[in-house]
Amino acid sequence: MSLAPDPVPRPLDCLVDRGEADAPALVLRDRILSYAGLRERVALLAGWLASRAQAGDRVASWAAKGELTCLLPLAAARAGMVHVPINPLLKHAQAAHILADSGAVLLIGTGARLKSLEQQDVPGTCELIEEGEAWRSAEGLATPLPAATRDPQELAAILYTSGSTGLPKGVMLSHANMWLGAASVAHYLGLAADDVTLAVLPLSFDYGQSQLLSTWYAGGSVVPLDYLFPRDVAKACARHGVTTLAAVPPLWVQLTETEWADEATQTMRRLTNSGGALTAKLVRRLRAQFPTAPLFPMYGLTEAFRSTYLDPELVDAHPTSMGRAIPFAEILVIDDAGEPAASGEEGELVHCGPLVAQGYWQDEVRTAERFKPAPTASEYGGMAVWSGDRVRRDADGLLYFVGRRDAMIKSAGNRISPQEIEEAALATGLVAEAIALGVPDERLGQAVHLVVRGPSAGSAENEMLSKALAKELPNFMQPQAIHWRETMPTNPNGKLDRTALARELGA
């Protein structure tokens, strides 16, 4: 691989040309699609779309992982349309919001999901079509659409992401955003044509979509999997000789609690994590479970695709670091005065460069809150994403997450990072997952509450956890209450749902 990935973006559908014609590109349940087959099917689906909608129209999908959901991002791009993937775990009300907000003219989905929509959920201008019928129609009538020279700055996708407040907002991504993102990830992961990626994350999630696009950029193959149990992931890895596995921390916790056959771990070349920080304990468990697979901790946000990764060689010595900027990303730490923060000083992470999205779809107010001119210290300039995340950079240039501006707990005048409390709780070995929240308190302003999942929830365990935390944390960081749960809520992307717990506790 070259010393740096090619910085020249191309239309997104050109990913079909990255692999050898007879090499596997997509491993489906009933067949394997080669790169030659990928080119044919994308051209066919693009031709069908062109017969049903106009360039610039939004085309939504609401289906499980399969041929349609994997190929539609490229086919819509070739037809000059904008793909709007809807997470298959969402319910009809959330899907209705996305359809209305995006102005989608077409929704392709599974029959059960389409039937769940009520009449008022579907805008009058939006046509619904079952995915099987879409393929039958394309195969019977469509004229394949050859590649065209599209402007890489054209809008290619709208990914809806939840915020701490309000309805989900649509992040606008161009061909260039997605192409350069795929090139960047393929480069720093060292992906190759003989790699096999198990796609377990939702394709409506930027991290999930990256599994697909970065693998195709490298000419490798993708195995899409909708799993019911963690053991399904381990079995699929063994069956397909998987070399690349991406997950979020809650899934990694479950996977490390699962039995893995030797054939499932021996082919693994890399593990990647995003969507939340790994704890030192979880890093150790992953290193023990996959001793020969380098571990890539990563940090990203939908508004800028991906920001940082930690070199696997540094993981053991710096297990909680976010690492450094990925190719094509410039990451600045800006203090409250708007200047670059000094080494070791806390500041806001600001992402600059060509991976920065085009803003929020039809939402000027929220776009202006997050997308602002880059700091004067930026080499790229232009618009930047001001993440709201508080980080610090050490003397070696490694970044560390401190907390979100809107998640910080302020108790008795002290600003407290929830992550520090959560890591202390996990380090005790008494709990498997933990979320710290600030709950309104008349005396303290906010009281620290800790929600945990553990094997048992008796008074003895509660006392043991309290004593262990008392040894590790100062008095002002001690939880005023500990809430034990048999299961923790997760959002549609598989992350622990901090917002849901906050609502439950009145935080």
CB-side neighbour CA atoms (13 Å) of 213: 29
Pairing of strands 371-373, 383-393: antiparallel
In the 8-state DSSP scheme, what is residue 277?
P
Looking at residue 280, its pLDDT comes to 84
Beta strands in 119-195 (DSSP E): 127-130, 155-161, 169-174
pLDDT, one tens digit per residue, over 418-444 is 888 998 899 999 999 999 999 988 777
Task: Give me the pLDDT at residue 1, please.
Answer: 37
| Structural domain boundaries in the chain | 12-176, 315-403, 407-505
Q: Which two tokens stand for residue 146?
A: 């050859």
pLDDT tens profile 113-165: 999 998 889 999 999 999 999 999 999 988 999 998 899 999 999 999 865 44
Contacts 24+ apart (CB under 8 A), 457-464: 457/484, 457/485, 457/486, 461/430, 464/428, 464/430
Pairing mode, strands 196-199 and 244-247: parallel
State both tokens at 175.
């061909």
Query: Does CATH number 3.30.70.1730 belong to domain 12-176?
Result: no
The CATH classification number of 407-505 equals 3.30.300.30
CATH top-level class for 315-403?
mainly beta
Query: Which residue numbers in the chain have pLDDT < 50?
Result: 1-3, 164-165
pLDDT for position 164? 43
In angstroms, what CA-CA distances link 197 with 30, 47, 208, 219, 260?
18, 28, 11, 11, 17
